[in-house]
Amino acid sequence: MSIELNHRHLILFIIAFVLVCAAALPVDVMDVDAAQYFGISRDLLESDNWLQIKDRGHDYLDKPPLLFWVSALSFKIFGVSNWAYKLPSFLFALLAVFSTIRLGGLLYDRKTGLLAGLMLASCLGVFIITNDIRTDTILLGSVSFAVWQLLMFLKTKRWLNLVAGFVGVAAAMLTKGPLGLIIPALALSSEFAYKRQWINFVRWQWLVGLAIVALLLTPMCIGLYQQFDLHPEKVVNGSTGVSGLKFYFWTQSFGRITGESDWGTKFDNGAGPFFFTHTFLWAFFPWALLVLGALVKTTLKLIRSHLKPGYIPELLSYGGFVLVFLAMSASKYKLPHYIYITFPFAALMAARFFVHDVFLPRKRILLYASIGLHIIFYLGLAAIVVLLLFYSFPDAGWLTVAIALLWLVAGVAMVWKLRESGTRLLYPLLCALLAGYFTANVHFYPHLLQFQTTSQAGKQIASMGITQDRYFYFHNLFQFPGDAYSGFAVNYIYENQFDSVLAAQKTIWIYTDEEGVNELKRAGYAVLKEQKLIDFPVQFLKVQFFIPEERSKVTRTRFLLELGKREAPIQ
């Protein structure tokens, strides 16, 4: 038994989620990664060598360059802005959704593909990474596109699909290193092995594809070789004799498992082996439990059938999810967004399970559990929307309030108006998600980023035309958004440097904390202008921040000062 879903409705919901996520494009970027990559991309735009990546003027050896290349190109076309920086990653997220739709159509049918694309577009993790830009957004689009195109090649034998598939692999490798090749290989190999399609492992066309990948990786490899391998004397991340090529092809990915990478040894965030288990449950909200059901069902079928083919329609999504999940979990350093690459495979499993299992008469408990969970999810999302609009930040415009509440009301109306059980279960939750994401992107995030005061100070510095030699951080209060919005890499200044800097400049500008202000005043420097800024580490949300009466307990005070030459020190 399967459910009836209107294809046009699914497409309209996908478009709605795309538009809601697009509303985040003009919003300021967050510290740490997104703001750092913004600065690197802007510096690359101004550089005469796009093959050698630098961060704040220093050699950069961490992430492959594709994010910086496409962001710098977007800056070149549209100018330096928030939306120009976020646009390429946003387009790759759309590519992931579209590729998942087409992949679902190949493996199952159009309905399952559309539902999988909708689940991917509406999950919490994709909502987050279309705002807080990471390399994983490009990886998501590149890998899903590569798998779709390579599967199309095997079905049609068209060379265009083969070339497109390996272009996707190359883009993924230019984003995340060898993982960009390993992830599609794991997914496709699972399918080949299960269906005993041994010939697909040894097709000579794969050599042509690998040649395409090698050709597309050549510019990056030349840049790495020139920047690092030719200069073993350079100190890179505290070491000399560092090979950029070895780092890219081995250390950055596999070194996290073997312990050769600093990430997991020198830098250990204490993430245990089950870190991605609980991360996935919230990151793929609200569809994660459907994935769990699909995993249990598929695993039991594989065990009972002794892995004989024909008992399940495909193993690509299962293998792509499970094998990548296990490989990621073996890493000694983990962050939540690392697991996002499993989302297209998870969406395919969740969509099939929803369509073909939730509504089976003999499994009524699944339907009752789904109804209960969807009611809880709807009420929780509605409460968050109301909290943000009317309590936490009660200054929303009438249009914002009207649109958000309209989505919530539409969800309730659908419960009464719709007759088909699948749509009655699915559509109200989708409406609540749209209300929540819309409120977050249009109302909450703009308010939240006002508390990222290095951004606000940087904007003021840029608007006044203050140059790099007149704006400094004091007391080591560095944040990457300061670089992004002031237009240059903001330097530190130490107390013994003030006199010499002020000798060359009539006044300088300082971003500091209350203790820094007191030190400068005690030292006798003239504070010509003093602006108090209320700061909050926006990437570490706390419950008190959402309570206006409690907010001051988790915020801190920062200052933007115009400083003149030393007067008589206070005794």
Q: What is the mean pLDDT of residues 206-233?
A: 96
Handedness of CA 302, 303, 308, 311 (dihedral sign): negative
Q: Alpha carbon of 196 to those of 297, 310, 314, 315, 397: distances in Å?
A: 21, 11, 12, 12, 59
Residue 391 has pLDDT above 80, yes or no: yes
Quick one: pLDDT band at residue 479, thresholds 50, 70, 90? confident
Q: What is the mean pLDDT of residues 304-308?
A: 93
Residue 332 has pLDDT above 90, yes or no: no
d(C-alpha 70, C-alpha 7), whole Å: 33
Residue 4 has pLDDT above 80, yes or no: no
- The ranges assigned to domains in the chain are 31-356, 361-449, 452-566
Residue 257 has pLDDT above 70, yes or no: no
Q: What is the mean pLDDT of residues 314-335?
A: 91
Contact 141, 92 (CB under 8 A): yes
Task: Please give the pLDDT value at position 235.
Answer: 86
Using the structure block, give the residue that is written with the tokens 């309905």. Answer: 111
Residue 429 has pLDDT above 70, yes or no: yes
Among 193, 200, 191, smallest CA distance to 318 is for 191
Residue 509 has pLDDT above 90, yes or no: yes
Q: What is the mean pLDDT of residues 502-512?
A: 93
Question: What does the block give as tokens for 116?
Answer: 């999988």
Cα Dmax for the chain: 87
Task: Please give the pLDDT value at position 274.
Answer: 87
The number of residues making up the chain comes to 571
d(C-alpha 390, C-alpha 453), whole Å: 24
Task: Please give the pLDDT value at position 260.
Answer: 62
Q: Which of 96-100, 306-310, 501-505 has the highest mean pLDDT?
A: 96-100
Omega before 32 within 30 of 0, i.e. cis: yes
10-23 pLDDT per residue, tens: 999 999 999 999 99
Quick one: pLDDT band at residue 464, thresholds 50, 70, 90? very high
Task: Please give the pLDDT value at position 251.
Answer: 85
Quick one: pLDDT band at residue 569, thresholds 50, 70, 90? low
Residue 63 has pLDDT above 60, yes or no: yes
Task: Please give the pLDDT value at position 568.
Answer: 58
Quick one: pLDDT band at residue 69, thresholds 50, 70, 90? very high
Task: Please give the pLDDT value at position 269.
Answer: 61
Quick one: pLDDT band at residue 270, thresholds 50, 70, 90? low
Residue partners of 517: CB distance under 8 A and separation at least 6:
527, 530, 559, 561
Residue 250 has pLDDT above 90, yes or no: no
User: Three-class SS of residue 231?
Assistant: coil
Among 349, 341, 346, 291, smallest CA distance to 143 is for 341
Task: Please give the pLDDT value at position 538.
Answer: 93
Q: Alpha carbon of 359 to those of 8, 370, 371: distances in Å?
A: 21, 10, 11
d(C-alpha 371, C-alpha 426), whole Å: 9
Of the two residues 507 and 266, the one the predictor is more confident about is 507
Question: What does the block give as tokens for 281?
Answer: 């449950």
Q: What is the mean pLDDT of residues 490-518?
A: 92
30-50 pLDDT per residue, tens: 988 999 999 999 999 999 899
The pLDDT mean for the chain works out to 92
